[in-house]
Amino acid sequence: MSQGSADDSARRLALSEEPPTRLIGAAAAPGVVVGRVVILDRRKVQVPRRHVEDSEVEAEVARLRGAINAARTQLEAIRGTLPSEAKDHGLILDAHLLMLDDALLVDEAEAAIRAEKVNAEWGLRKSVEHIKALFERAEDDYFRERRSDVDFVGERVLRQLMGNAQEVPKARGETEGEPTVLVAHELSPADTASLRNKGFSAFITDVGSATSHTAILARALELPAVVGAQGATKFLATGDRVIVDGLRGIVQLRPNAEQILGAEARRRRYAQFVRSLDGNRDQPAATSCGTPIALRANIELPTEALIAREQGADGVGLYRTEFLYIDRRLPPPEEEQTEVYVAVVRAMGGRPVTLRTFDIGGDKFSTAFRLPREMNPALGLRAVRLALREREVFRAQLRAMLRAAATGPVRIMIPMVATVAELRAARAELEAARGELQARGVTVPDVPLGIMIETPSAVFVADLLAKESAFFSIGTNDLVQYSLAIDRGNEHVAYLARPLDPAILRAIERTATAAKQAGIPCALCGAMASDLLSAPLLIGLGVGELSVDPHAVPEVKAALARVSLREAREVAAKALTLATADEVEQLVREAFASKLADLLAAGE
Ligand code: PEP
Ligand code: MG
């Protein structure tokens, strides 16, 4: 629960002068791997500048085109090898492929070769730098973020030109019978997509965060990974042995025999733990006294619906539809969205699916919208506020959701509602969307409209909101940010963001009580619901539905089954009298840790 130990080690690491024995990064994809390192050495190649004679110019242009074609073939091949569960991420590779055809990149490079009589490498470099400069000046975050994509694509072509294809190599471990770990400064999504096929069992990068496309892809491919492990390429060499701990975000360099034994034991324990929970997948979630709890999954990609179902989730409690809007310049058309939502509804086989309307703005990708630069994006044009400004886009999404509702039980959820007026405005849009569909002759079923409770004002007026809302889902990730005034993406204050803070517990209890009085369900879909010690406490506070990471479903189900409703309520009542997050954390540890010891140990 507390981040103290990771912070302490990082600090110790920064102070020590010896080469470190371990590196702390971000846990990007779970699992523990002991293996041999292969370093992907991609120090920036020095781009040569050469004058070419008039007679050589066309040959240089042809060389550039050849390299672009070769890069395209490579990217298409990688795209083709993506396993079906990672196909959604193909969009990122599509964007890279499109860039190779982009007139801005290709024509400019060719023009530079011809006008300045320079070699293909130099022409390419000029064009890449120019595009990056254009993106740099863009007002829109989306375009600024795309600079690294231009680099990925430019480097790929450059490596072709210089006869240094520097593709991710094949893993060596296959011959030596030991798993192989790729260590790179940075990996593009395309590189990551090729790792499984090349025989790698895990990877480590110097830079990156757990929410990057690369990390998301690693999770979809079930490839244990630690990203942002600063110094990995500096302190490791090809052939070194390493422990990749994707559960804790730790890299152990050149481990000794005892550390290897420990890691192997952890790896087996984790694998066994995952297997041991297989049995509960078909069981409904309930407390030890038999009170049923709706345990649902949070998903971001349509394919995760299948994982949610496989893991035994009783529906989707939160489908973050933002993913549909990233890496594209225009919002997804109604038809495309309908297909995606219908696929999720079908995958869940009759279990409820909660579709959240887009929550874009703040720290989330802005892509399909032209968002203004804001001083305080978290307090700015985000989520429902953006939806009510971009009404056409909002309505297209609502129409797609309503159409999907004809194929199974769908609930629609509005993010970041702060006032009753916003809820009413969103409902009016939903009714307008319904009217538009009916005018087309489409029959539309009744769909429950609920809201996320993630702003303090929504908690204060929860009684009023409950009268006009079909359900609540508490978003503690944001509720913590807005209630405790802690930027959720700022590592300097991350240690203060504690969901077990008394202020948050009171907000949850107050919301659950308002829902109960109005006779509507109250769910919780923040990351807190996946925390094994917090889950029973939430039930005690009156939350009736939890929505968690798909992979956390079996363990949260196991945790709930060991605590009775009465115990949970007693602990919750006591927690509400405590004054600090430390005291609450200690209370839940004392109350539940011994019952959940094996479950807690599996992730440690
Ligand atoms: C939350 O804020 O708790 C939540 C579930 O929404 P998101 O993390 O997508 O903002
Ligand atoms: Mg939120």
Closest protein CA for atom 8 of ligand 1: 477
Question: What pLDDT score was predicted for residue 211?
Answer: 59
Residue 128 token pair: 């890449």
Q: What is the pTM of this model?
A: 0.69
Active site residue 525: yes
With tokens 């009298």, the residue in question is 577
CA of 386 to the centre of ligand 2 (A): 14
Give the helix/strand (H/E) hosting 194: helix 189-194
Residue to mutate, 296, 320, 326, ligand 1, most ligand atoms under 8 Å from C-beta: 320
Q: Which domains, and CATH codes, for the chain?
A: 3-42+167-260 (3.50.30.10), 54-161 (1.10.274.10), 285-603 (3.20.20.60)
Distance CA 277, CA 272 (A): 9
Active site residue 213: yes
pLDDT tens-place string over residues 342-355: 999 999 999 999 99
Are the C-beta atoms of 27 and 270 separated by less than 8 Å? Answer: no
Out of 130, 185, 213, 551, pick the active-site residue. Answer: 213
CA of 143 to the centre of ligand 1 (A): 24
Distance CA 246, CA 265 (A): 15
Ligand 1 touching residue 320 (CB < 6 A): yes
Ligand closest to the CA atom of residue 524:
1
Question: What pLDDT score was predicted for residue 176?
Answer: 67
List, for the chain, all residue ranges whose pLDDT scores fall below the cut of 70: 1-18, 42-46, 83-91, 136-148, 163-167, 172-176, 210-213, 327, 363-367, 491, 603-604
Ligand 1 atom at minimal distance to the Cα of residue 475: 3
Are the C-beta atoms of 271 and 547 separated by less than 8 Å? Answer: no
CA of 401 to the centre of ligand 2 (A): 20
Provide the terminal-to-terminal Cα distance of the chain, rounded to the nearest Å: 12
Question: What pLDDT score was predicted for residue 16?
Answer: 46
Ligand 1 touching residue 359 (CB < 6 A): yes
Ligand 1 touching residue 317 (CB < 6 A): no
Closest protein CA for atom 9 of ligand 1: 320
CA of 85 to the centre of ligand 2 (A): 26
Residue 258 token pair: 């005892």
